[in-house]
Homo-oligomer: A and B are copies of this chain.
Amino acid sequence: MRDTAVVPRAATGESSLARAVRVLEAFTPEEPEPTVSELARRSGLHVATASRIVGQLTAHGLLGRGEDRRVRIGVRMWELASRASPTRSLRDAAMPYLEDLHAVVGHHVQLAVLQGEEVLFLERLSARDAVVNYSRVAGRLPLHISSSGVVLLAYGPPELGDRVLARPMERRTPATITTPERMRAVLEQVRRQGYALLAGHVHENATGIAVPVRNGLGDVVAALSVIVPNDERAAAAVPALLAAARGVSRSLPPRGPADQPA
């Protein structure tokens, strides 16, 4: 019995706040209601530590617990995040146009922004009988896969394009863009025609069409897109999309949201 006797704390050198964040990051769309043990495993924390952190956050309403003791994101956290979110002005400005667009085109209408090197979907309206769609609100998708991503890439900073092109691109369907040459050609075409139309890149039966949304300064701050069936009528949605994007731009507050990725 020597050093082992009692080792109250291994020198981790990590702040306690960082651990709490690790717990929050352990929530995934696939498992929205994990147990304390699962959270501990995923965050790499000791079970006791995870239990304590969950207890504290629950006391403040940021987390919630079911009768089976499973942990959920708390309504209070949603409230805090939604209330003052920088995405709110964008969403508020876009919502009426999303509705109009949805009424005309049907299926799925979405609003997305660039976040890191992925697309983050802020809002989505879906018809009950719409075609398949893998995106969801607060969900992410790789840039090269979706029409929204291609638009944000085409109008985004050049170094972002370099980074994305340098990496291998996952294939989802035979139509998915997977080579830098092909992507460069597509981006050039998007910039020329002002929209992206990707037929069957995410799913065989679906076509994504996306257009850029600009703020008062002309910067592209978001992408507006529709997902429609993959047939010859798909392109008919383009004019409505372009018109809607202009409407959103006009409704945007002058100092547009230009949130830099973390």
A-side residues, CB < 8 A to B, are: 15-18, 20-21, 24-25, 27-29, 32-33, 53, 56-57, 60-62, 64, 72-88, 95-96, 99, 102-103, 113, 115, 120, 125-128, 137-139, 259-260, 262
Do B64 and A138 touch (CB < 8 A)? Answer: no
Chain B nearest CB: distance from A87 CB in Å? 6
Distance, CA A115 to CA B64, complexed state (A): 13
- In angstroms, Cα B259 to Cα A32, docked, is 14
A83, B53: Cβ atoms closer than 8 Å: no
Closest to A24 in B: B80
Q: Quick check: A87 and B80 within 8 Å, CB to CB?
A: no
Residues of B close to A139: CB separation below 8 A: 83
The interface residues of chain B lying within 8 Å CB-to-CB of A76 are 262
**Given A21-B60, A75-B259, 8 other A-B residues pairs in contact with their CB atoms under 8 A:** A17-B56, A24-B62, A29-B83, A77-B85, A79-B120, A82-B82, A82-B137, A103-B103
Residues of B near A88 (CB, < 8 A) are 32, 137
Instruction: State how many copies of this chain the complex holds.
Output: 2
A211 to chain B, nearest CB (A): 21
List, in ascending order, chain B residues with CB within 8 A of A57's CB: 17, 21
Interface centre among A15, A17, A53 (most CB of B within 10 A): A17
- The reply to whether B79 and A138 contact each other, CB–CB distance below 8 Å, is yes
Known contacts A56-B17, A127-B96: does B73 contact A77 (CB below 8 Å)? Answer: no
Q: Is the CB of B81 within 8 A of A80?
A: yes
**Bound complex: CA A100 to CA B81 (Å):** 27
Min distance, Cβ A127 to any Cβ of chain B, angstroms: 7
Take A16-B17, A102-B99 as given contacts and tell me if A86 and B60 are in contact as well, using a CB distance cutoff of 8 Å: no
Distance in angstroms between the alpha carbons of A188 and B95 in the assembled complex: 37
* Nearest CB in chain B to that of A124: its residue: B95
Question: How far, in whole Å, are A27 and B88 apart by their CA atoms in the complex?
Answer: 14
- Is there contact, CB below 8 Å, between A60 and B18? yes
A74 proximity list for chain B (CB < 8 A): 86, 262
